[in-house]
Amino acid sequence: MALQLFKIADATVATPQTSIDFNSIPQGYTDLLIKISLRSSDGNIYDGANIYLNNDTTSTNYSFRRLYGNGATAASDSSTSSYRWFWVNGNTATTNSMGNAEIYIPKYTGSNYKSASFDFVTENNATTSYGGIVTCLWNSTAAITSISIASGGNYFMTNSTATLYGVL
């Protein structure tokens, strides 16, 4: 069968806000996919962004491994206690520039711990700009019913967007 995506919800930031939240996620799909275009109020070129599943803000329930580049060098990092899975444009990146990211969460209603894959890029009219791929884990067997994309202390700027899809 051809790839089937169904929009569940679409959010556009009208005034700066600390998070984009998807609640009451339908349980009838196989996987979830979110396409993300974000810019943070952080005073750097880039900023980390958090993913909270089912409003779980206990960092030790999350982990990741990440391969990334910064426009000059490549590196990898990991954490056994972090929901700060990806990076977005900060507010000193080129004006009007946004990051571009996608998170894919397979079997989000299953009874295993929830794995996710993330690929993200930031952009900036200069050497330094971050992009990478991430494998992520939420140590919970609960079905995912809500997802929060949070700036973690800053704001997501106007015209940031996130679109949640169900996949069959």
Partner 1 sequence: MAIRSLKSGSFSRSTQVGNSIILPGDYESIATVTVGSGGTTSVNFSSIPQTFKHLQIRAIHQEPSDTVALRFNNTGASNIYTVHYLYGDGGVVAGYLSSPLMIYFGTNYGSSGSTFGTSVVDILDYTDTNKYTTTRSLTGADNNSAYYRVGIYSGEYYSTSAITSIQILGRSGGTIAQYSSFALYGIRG
Residues that bind partner 1 (CB under 8 A): 2-8, 10, 26-29, 35-37, 39, 67-74, 94, 96-102, 119-129, 131-133, 158-159, 161, 163, 165-166, 168
Picking from 134, 124, 150, the residue whose alpha carbon sits closest to that of residue 53 is 150
Burial (CB count <10 Å: 0-12, 13-18, 19+), residue 72? exposed
Tell me the CA distances in angstroms from 55 to 16, 144, 152, one per residue in order: 21, 10, 14
Task: Tell me if 145 sits within 8 A of 83, measured CB to CB.
Answer: no
Phi–psi pair at 59, nearest 5 degrees:
-60, -30
> Minimal distance in Å, beta carbon 58 to partner 1?
28
> Minimal distance in Å, beta carbon 156 to partner 1?
13
d(CA 113, CA 116): 10
> Minimal distance in Å, beta carbon 130 to partner 1?
8
> Minimal distance in Å, beta carbon 103 to partner 1?
12
Residue 81 or 117: the one with the smaller Cβ distance to partner 1 is: 117
Residue 36 or 51: the one with the smaller Cβ distance to partner 1 is: 36
Residue 78 or 159: the one with the smaller Cβ distance to partner 1 is: 159
Phi–psi pair at 160, nearest 5 degrees:
-65, 150
Residue 6 or 139: the one with the smaller Cβ distance to partner 1 is: 6
> Minimal distance in Å, beta carbon 89 to partner 1?
8
Residue 59 or 100: the one with the smaller Cβ distance to partner 1 is: 100
DSSP state of 96: T
DSSP state of 17: B
